[in-house]
Chains A and B, each alone.
Chain A
Amino acid sequence: MEDEKIIALFFERDEQAVAETEKKYRGLCISLSDKILKNSFDAEECFSDTLMALWNSIPPKRPENLKAYICKVIRNLSLTKLDYNFAKKRTSDCEVSLEELEYLIPDGASENGYDGVELGMVIDGFLSSVKPEARKIFVRRYFFFDSVSDISLDLGISQSKVKSVLSRTVKRLRSYLTEKERL
């Protein structure tokens, strides 16, 4: 079923909307959540929570792109779950990626140090300035938490190139954020 029809079902408060969403996006969602949590049971739980969140948020919200919206919802819920798991001393391999993420931001950078603009919006602005290939690789790695080997295979480039593009993009992002904060 097309996304527009699924959204329409949500607006009609038809429970078929949930069934169609599950049918269409279960694999994508669980795959994304599992990359963060490394636990299929937790990923299943997050997916259930995602369906509930969609039901509660649509309407009033009408996502322009349902697929992207769902990805963002389950990603946020999975990160929250990851926080909970850390608090409960349950480990996850994603910790490595989070450490990698910390390097994206220059030392001492504040969350609100960009002239009142949220960091997420600043990063979005930065991504609009880089080449599409670098942006795709960056988003695959830091939004979807994909492995370098998967990115390499899907884009048809060597793993070393993926690593070097990531390294170069991160370097530019750090410079960009430093400059923004100075302003």
Chain B
Amino acid sequence: MNGKRIAEEIGKIRDEYVVEALETKRGLDGRERSITVKSKKRLIAILAAAVIIAAIGCGTAAAVKFGNLSIIKNQYEKTEDVLDVPEELPKMDIEENGLELTPPAPKAPAATDDGSQSEAEETEAPNPEELKPGEARFTGIVVTDHSFDGTFDLNVSGMGLPEKATDGAEYEYFESFTTVEEEIDGNRRFIGVCSTSFVSRDGDIATFVLSDCRLSTPPQGDLIFTVDGIKYQKADRSGEVSGYDGKIEVKISSDDYEVTESKYSLNAPESDGCAYLMELSPSAIKVSPQGGTSGEAFDVSTVKVEVKLRDGTVLSEDLGETGDKARIFVGGAQHMNGGFLLNFATLVDISEVSSVTVNGIEFDF
């Protein structure tokens, strides 16, 4: 019997079971929290990386990058209004301020035959082992059908990369080129390229962000990212020096990532007599008018966006105030077919998002 026929038969189960399952779609308070805390750390890591990347793009000084990081953290933890971003901000140490990056969870052991769950299965992922010199490991990832964002740590011991410049300033490291390959049954094939940016260094451990990885096909197998050498900025900032000429591989097993899919809002609220539906993907939110009409309710240059996470924290941005500078999490905005498209500065873990409000109109997820 084919799968489609079986799917049709399953469609005949009683309504009670359909409704019972539907009721779980909104999550269960209490038990949900232990999961969201773990995922939230990853979301913070990814969003923090986005701000850093944006800062690098604007040629901003390193101290400001970390300042923005503290704003993002405050934004999540205190639900503060973060729109008045000052020009200069104090440097923030990531560890001192408690911001940590979460490693991908290892595959848990299978349940026993009687269905009971072992204790180990319910616990958080153990801390990763110490990285060996030259070894790299992902600490946060978001994967979609055609894109990848992530942060990874690299032990740079013995790689000829000085931690401090002679004048005491920090070096900024640059990679040369990063390729993405997919490995299935021992066979590798090229599927894309990435931008990689240096974030910070603590002793021998340097942290980098992989962003804007465009993948030619939806990933299925193990992913191998190859960084072709690392350069660093001269102390007098007069140019780059090739510090490490070798290749660095960062791998992630197919067991350690899941491809995130888009979600549609559970409601279609009205504005100016027109109903709108929101599609939320890791890279953007798309608001489309329904029924072939458009109320033209949104001016994207002044739109105010509020993203509410499942644990109640709120992330907000008013493009009317931030405009093109110092954006917090919106990378760009444009009108589209009577609605609009807002790109996130980098990929977002949408499983954490409970609702998105645009100009006071709330879309539930």
Contact = CB atoms under 8 A, between A and B. Distances in A.
B interface, over-half SS: mixed
Nearest to A108: B1
Contacts of B39: 153
B19 A68 contact: yes
A175 interface: no
Given A76-B11, A98-B4, A136 B21 contact: yes
B6 A102 contact: yes
Interface stretch (B158-166, B200-208, B265-273, B300-308): B265-273
A interface, over-half SS: helix
B27 interface: yes
Contacts of B7: 75, 79, 98, 101, 142
Contacts of A71: 18, 22
Contact of A124 (B12, B115, B262): B12
A69 B6 contact: no
A149 B258 contact: yes
B2 interface: yes
A54 interface: no
B254 interface: no
A102 B12 contact: no
Given A71-B22, A132-B20, A168 B111 contact: yes
A76 B9 CA distance: 10
B3 A98 contact: yes
Nearest to B25: A154
A28 B364 CA distance: 11
A158 interface: yes
B58 interface: no
Given A22-B275, A101-B7, A124-B14, A160 B24 contact: no
Given A27-B264, A83-B4, A143-B13, A154 B108 contact: no
Interface string B163-185: 00000000000000000000000
A79 B35 CA distance: 33
Contacts of A154: 24-28, 32
Interface in A65-101: 65, 67-69, 71-72, 75-76, 79, 82-83, 93, 97-101
A87 to B, nearest CB: 11
B15 interface: yes
Given A104-B6, A161-B121, A168-B115, A143 B18 contact: yes
Interface string A126-166: 01000010011001101110111111111111111100110
Nearest to B26: A154
Contacts of A158: 35, 108, 121-122
Contacts of B275: 22-23, 26
Nearest to A27: B266
A30 B264 contact: yes
A147 B11 contact: no
A90 B29 CA distance: 40
Contacts of B261: 35, 147
Contacts of A153: 27, 32, 35-36, 39, 310, 351
Given A119-B1, A153-B351, A157-B31, 19 more contacts: A22-B290, A22-B291, A23-B267, A26-B290, A27-B265, A27-B277, A28-B266, A65-B16, A68-B18, A68-B22, A100-B3, A101-B10, A120-B11, A154-B28, A156-B33, A160-B109, A161-B108, A161-B117, A164-B110
Of all A-B residue pairs in the complex, the 3 with the closest CB atoms, nearest first, are A120-B12, A98-B3, A156-B31
30 contacts: A26-B268, A27-B265, A27-B266, A27-B268, A31-B264, A34-B264, A68-B16, A68-B18, A68-B19, A76-B8, A101-B3, A102-B3, A102-B6, A104-B6, A139-B17, A140-B24, A143-B11, A143-B18, A143-B21, A147-B258, A148-B258, A149-B351, A153-B27, A155-B28, A158-B35, A159-B258, A160-B107, A160-B108, A164-B110, A164-B117
Interface of B: 1-22, 24-28, 30-36, 39, 105, 107-111, 113, 115, 117, 121-122, 218, 258, 260-268, 270, 275, 277, 279, 290-291, 310, 351, 364
Interface of A: 22-24, 26-28, 30-31, 34-35, 40, 63-65, 67-69, 71-72, 75-76, 79, 82-83, 93, 97-102, 104-105, 109-111, 118-121, 123-124, 127, 132, 135-136, 139-140, 142-144, 146-161, 164-165, 167-168
